[in-house]
Amino acid sequence: MSASLARRDFLAATAAATAGAALAAPRAFSAENTPSRKVVVGVMGLGGRGTGLACDFQRQPGVEVAYVCDVDRRRAAVGARAVAEVSGRQPKAVGDFRRILDDRSVDLLVIATADHWHAPAALLACAAGKHVYVEKPCCHNPQEGELLLAAARKHKRLVQHGTQRRSWPAEREAIERLRGGVIGRVLFARAAHTGIRSPIGRGKPVPVPDWLDWDLWQGPAPRRPYRDNLVHYNWHFFWHYSGGEIVNNGVHKIDVARWGLAVEFPRQVNSTGAKLCFQDDGDTPDTHVVSYDFGDKMLLFENRNWHRGLGEYDDSDVTFFGDQGTLAMGGSGYKVYDMAGKLVGQGSGRSGDADHIQNLLGAIRDERPLNADIEIACTSTLLCHLGTIAHRTGRSLKCDPTSGRILDDPEAQKLWGREYEPGWEPKL
């Protein structure tokens, strides 16, 4: 299967199998309904997010977290202790995730590493016969997304994306209400991520710490010297390893906005972004606005890393505008307003990761649909990447509305993929 898998061909082949899957309700497993099939899990990447996921998976009935893995041996030890506190059983702590893939008893690899590792690790996991839970974004660049989608289908593996809002009950209810016409025709969505971050400063090359396997941390990324302001979080703000805030947190909001608008690929993408507040080593903008034109609908994404304000509709981070009203989503709830701005309905529910994890476990055991399957993930993540490509080239992008591919712009098309460290090139 080609890396440039035509999404319209895939959609035609799978439409019948996935009809209605977007709103399928996850089943909540309980101690009284313990699954008969144990799911064995390995977790790669043990920062706060990875360790939290390891413990959340371990809390599910019928799950054994058998491995935890990190190239920082301090984190590997902490992660192992955290899982042991939940289960009373110590998982194996390893530094190289390929040891997890070599164990045929492992069913699922959870990937919560730096972004440049997400797709390459998931590709290797699929080829090794493992299902995958991959944190957002599912890929460092659009070409990796195409490869990962193709690999999941080729190896018949389940790949769930860490856009967990797809499984939150109130958000699913809100989407159902949008589909039911609660605000009429939904024509426009605004997605926003704001917050106050600290600048990452000006770093300098220093010796690699003795607790870090720097070569394996870099993995598929071309080699660069170690710097003192990169690990473990500031890599988010370098194009070499990530795509900035739009792919880090913005993908959650863009994914929900795209879901509610019921759109796939834009025909045009415009970006305005800059470093207005921070003077530091980061490549990515601290202020970013991206607009997506779908022809009959539009989506606007806004990010500020230095100001918390979201504007109208309370603390809504995704707002839908229809010809008969507004639906504002934020946190784990939503509110509906009429055209005069009067509150006419609302809903709330639980958030977190449990529903999303249970949806994946249900898919592994009972072949139920995934709420954030890799195809959904690749489309939403592609929108984020198109925003960064428009920003980096400084011009509007014209796209094929059937595939999202960039048209008539060779310079922008070069950013569809990336160079890899020799020997680490991702393959199907």
pLDDT tens digit sequence for 104-117: 999 999 999 999 99
127-142 residues labelled b (16+ CB within 10 A) or e (exposed): ebebbbbbbbbbbbbb
Across residues 41-67, what is the average pLDDT?
98
Task: Look at residue 331 in the predicted model and tell me its pLDDT.
Answer: 77
Amino acid at 128: A
Interatomic CA distance for residues 261 and 320, integer angstroms? 8
CA distance 14 to 369: 12
Kindly list the domain boundaries of the chain, sorted by start residue: 7-167+353-373, 169-351+382-408
- Res 313: pLDDT: 79
- Kindly state the helix (H) or strand (E) to which residue 161 belongs, with its residue range: strand 159-161
pLDDT at 310: 79
Distance, CA of 317 to CA of 322 (rounded, Å):
17
Spell 39-49 as b/e; 16+ CB within 10 A means b: bbbbbbbbbee
pLDDT tens track for 286-310: 999 999 999 999 999 999 999 988 7
Taking residue 379's Cβ as centre, other Cβ atoms within 10 Å add up to 19
CATH class of 169-351+382-408: alpha beta
Mean pLDDT of 3-22: 36
Q: Which residue has the higher pLDDT, 368 or 356?
A: 356
In the CATH scheme, what is the homologous superfamily, with its name and number, of domain 7-167+353-373? NAD(P)-binding Rossmann-like Domain (3.40.50.720)
In the prediction, which pLDDT does 35 show?
65
Question: How far is residue 51's CA from residue 68's CA, in Å, rounded to a whole number?
Answer: 9
CB burial class (10 A; 0-12, 13-18, 19+) of residue 365? middle
Angle between helices 142-154 and 118-127 (to 10 degrees): 20
43 closest CA partner among 72, 75, 66, 71: 66
SS3 145: helix
**What is the model's pLDDT at position 235?**
98
Average pLDDT of the chain, as a whole number: 92
Report, as an integer, the average pLDDT of 74-83: 97
Count other C-beta atoms under 10 Å from residue 217's C-beta: 22
Farthest-apart Cα atoms in the chain, separation: 62
pTM for the predicted model, two decimal places: 0.91
Residues 242 and 235: beta-carbon distance below 8 Å: yes
Give tens-digit pLDDT for 212-241.
Answer: 999 999 999 999 999 999 999 999 999 999
Residues in the chain: 428
CA 186 from chain centre, in angstroms, equals 24
- Evaluate whether 7-167+353-373 and 169-351+382-408 have a shared fold: no
